[in-house]
């Protein structure tokens, strides 16, 4: 079997997006796999000519359930990726009190990527991550 990671867009409105990421790894750790591509999200100005999509997103909230022994690292994709957060165990992170988690990658692409740590031979480790995102800035 091979590693399987899926991203399902649950909500994609003009401002808010909700994405559920599920994964099962049994062959190796995942290295920098894009799980959210900002440019594929719906328009931030629906009904207007040109209908621009978002240039990037900010993270509002993260809910997660990660298998024991596994760490999932979420990163802002870019020339030099920047860590959003490292997730392990079970929990919920609310960034609304701090103005959301903003994309601070060098030369950002607007995407979010996933890297895992902790897989060893003979294991099958599963995770579920739900991201609540706020769309920002129109793309060109």
Break the chain into its structural domains and give their ranges: 4-138
Q: Which DSSP state fits 101?
A: B
Class of domain 4-138: mainly beta
pLDDT tens for each residue of 59-99? 999 999 999 999 999 999 988 999 999 999 999 999 998 88
pLDDT tens for each residue of 104-139? 888 888 899 999 999 988 899 999 999 999 998 876
**Using CA atoms, how far apart are residues 7 and 11, in angstroms rounded to an integer?**
12
Residue identified by tokens 């994709």 is: 77
pTM: 0.91
Residue identified by tokens 């900002």 is: 38
């Amino acid at each position: 079997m091979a590693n399987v990671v899926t991203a399902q867009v649950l909500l994609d409105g003009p401002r808010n997006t909700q994405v559920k990421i599920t994964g099962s790894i049994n062959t190796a750790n995942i290295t920098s796999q894009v799980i959210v591509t900002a440019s594929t999200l719906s328009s931030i100005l629906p009904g207007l000519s040109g209908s621009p999509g978002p240039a990037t997103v900010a993270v509002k909230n993260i809910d997660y359930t990660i298998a024991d022994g596994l760490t999932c690292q979420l990163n802002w994709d870019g020339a030099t990726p920047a860590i959003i957060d490292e997730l392990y165990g079970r929990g919920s992170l609310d960034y609304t009190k701090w103005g959301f988690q903003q994309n601070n990658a060098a030369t950002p692409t607007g995407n979010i990527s996933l890297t895992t740590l902790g897989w060893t031979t003979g294991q099958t480790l599963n995770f579920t991550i739900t991201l609540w995102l706020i769309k920002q800035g129109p793309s060109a």
